[in-house]
Amino acid sequence: MVLQASGVMSIPATVSVDNQPPASWTTHYNCADVTSGYMSRLWSQDLHPQTWTKYQVWEWLQQTLDMHQIDATSIPFQNFDLDGRQLCNMSFQDFTRAAGSLGSILFQSLTDLKWNGQYGHTDMFTPVDIKTESFWFHFNPYSINSTYRNLWHVDVPFQSHISTDPRGTHLWEFIRDILLNPERNPGLIKWEDRSEGVFRFLKSEAVAQLWGKKKNNSSMTYEKLSRAMRYYYKREILERVDGRRLVYKFGRNARGWRESEK
């Protein structure tokens, strides 16, 4: 799923193959589990989470809990009586409502699957960006979980209703998710002011290509992507940032980008 078949990669001098993953995550989680286990089996069948049946959602739940050695009774499975499309529409907060503090693990697992599905075998990045040992070496889902736990640990009492907010994979969410997953997006977009939600495109055309890939549109350009971004001003999903090229700012109607959602 992840590693490129080619052994010819440009490896930065600073990165050694002798590097060992931190013990904190190799204990319960290692690359082999990810690349040859259940997750890759799903992908080998070309099954995007979006297409999962309710049963497959449960299967994923079970497997994810197993992987993290979490007792299945820790999560009210009835809160996940959803098909893949509904699951993919759940926000981070939806997950915490449905599964408490374990929601972050599930959210990240699903996010991983979405991302890996999109990018696992593709050539979206230039070799120097993504096909490097350092890039994939630092692909570390477990550390991301830790990050999410630290940043977003909030015990929101479960509400019987899972949000039906139709927030699929819209452009602004796509951008937000790139910002929130810097490990998998070397130098594409960068926070300018994290607390204010100001960010800047570093590789505008690369982001556009990525967006196009997601929408199965190979002719996407930054010119067109930016037009869609500008439509967000009126809806206050983005705010204008005058005079600064490639800089945008999340607006009052953008959700899920803050370090701690209040």
Partner DNA sequence: TGGCGTTTTCCTGGTT
Partner DNA sequence: CAACCAGGAAAACGCC
Tell me the number of residues near DNA by CB under 7 A: 32
Site for DNA in 199-228 (CB under 7 A): 204-205, 211-212, 215, 217, 219-220, 222-228
Provide the minimum distance between the beta carbon of 82 and DNA in the complex, in angstroms, as a whole number. Answer: 12
* Closer to DNA by Cβ: residue 152 or 172: 172
Distance CA 157, CA 235 (A): 30
> Is the CB of residue 94 less than 8 Å from the CB of residue 150?
no
Largest CA distance in the chain: 53
Write out the binding residues for DNA, residues 175-204 only, by CB under 7 A: 204
Question: Contact between 252 and DNA (CB under 7 A)?
Answer: no
* Cα–Cα nearest to 108, from 79, 143, 136: 143
The yes or no reply on residue 53 touching DNA (CB under 7 A) is no
Q: Which amino acid appears at position 25 of this protein?
A: W
Q: Which is nearer to DNA, 133 or 173 (CB)?
A: 173
In 3D space, the residue among 259, 4, 254, 1 whose CA is nearest the CA of residue 129 turns out to be: 4
Q: Is 259 in the site for DNA (CB under 7 A)?
A: no
Residue 235 touches DNA, criterion: CB under 7 A = yes
Give whichever of 41 and 235 is closer to DNA, judged by the CB atom: 235
68 versus 224: smaller Cβ distance to DNA: 224
Instruction: Candidates 139, 232, 250, 257: give the one binding DNA (CB under 7 A).
Output: 232
Closer by beta carbon to DNA, 121 or else 215: 215
Provide CB contacts within 8 A for 16, sequence distance 6+. Answer: none
Print burial letters for 166-202: b (CB count within 10 Å at least 16), e (below 16).
ebeeebbbbbbbbbbeeebbbebbbebeeeebbbbbe
Binding site for DNA (CB under 7 A): 166, 168, 170-172, 204-205, 211-212, 215, 217, 219-220, 222-228, 230-233, 235, 240, 242-247
